[in-house]
Amino acid sequence: MNRSALAILQILTLIASLSRASHFTATNAWGSKNHPLAITTHHRTQQPSWNVLDCDRFVNSFLTIRGGEIDLIDNAAAADEDGILIVKTRNIIRSVLDVSEKNLPTTTRILKSLFSALEGITGVKLLPEPEKKKKSKKKSKKSAEVKSSEPAEEEKDEETAKEISSKSKTKSKLKKPSAATKKHLASTIKSTNPNYRIQRELKEFIKSPPPNLSVQVGSNLRVWIITMVGANNTIYEGESFKLRVSFPTQYPTVPPSVYFLQGHIPTHEHVYTNGDICLSLLGKDWRPTMTAQSIAVSILSILSSAQSKSLPMDNARHAGNKPGQYQKDWVYHDDNC
């Protein structure tokens, strides 16, 4: 093994010597005034070509290589197995290839072919192993990132599925327009008729129903039943309630009569157990420009903003009253009513 390494070192030294000699001879010959082509090319010698400079750098770098240190990657194990001389030979070849790859790519290919032939002759591994570990690390990082992103995607899918299921449940609880409702929508009512505005409000409600709200009308156009489903992420989520809305003869000068039907009353600090709702829009804050739909949206809003389920402080005193009376003289608990 040591004889083979000495032979390889002698070949490398010979290559370097020949390269420097040929470089020196070519430079002197072309730079001489007596050279036949000196007259036509002497102006070019003022700015040496890229190849000449790089060749000189390559030869100088090659001749100064001493074989590197023993503590390179896997050199300790290699030194025990093949000997220090073989390890240094490999380090020289690695250094030669590193230098030539930067300056002389064509020479690098020739040297690799030469070293490959020497490996076949001597049976000694000379060329460095291609680096595959870094690529595998990159691949492993990418796979780890993909794996880490999979749980997040699964969580998103679960959340989406929950949202879809909750929406489907909400839709199933909301009522579609009945035959009587469609009949009222199809009937022709003159603008002078008191029911004209009520029919117009019903058409708008059916055409663009607010979220979590639906309406049904029986034989009397002036009495509506609004189904209300608790909004998502609230304490009433998924719960179903029913509002009875009736329009007095003075409507819209006075507000409609609105209260929850028995068996469908939410437990709320502004909702009495008889179904009445403590809401100023049904009393002093009513305006003729408002609608039954806007009242229903406001009631759903106060339910959605509730943090706990509790009865009004004066529920015992009010619970026996008839629901749906005009709240003209009411004293409201707070600004949320």
Separation of alpha carbons 197 and 249, rounded Å: 12
337 carries an active-site annotation: no
- List beta partners, residue 223: 246
CA distances from 11 to 55, 180, 332 (A): 19, 105, 105
Token pair in block for residue 91: 């380090």
Which residues are within 8 A (CB) of 289 and not within 5 positions of it... i.e. 6 or more apart? none
Q: What value does the CA radius of gyration of the chain take, rounded to a whole number of Å?
A: 47
Of 253, 183, 257, the residue nearest 220 (C-alpha): 183
Residue 252, phi then psi, degrees to nearest 5: -95, 15
Out of 245, 278, 282, 302, pick the active-site residue: 278
Extended strands (E) in the chain: 213-217, 223-229, 240-246, 257-260
Active site members: 278
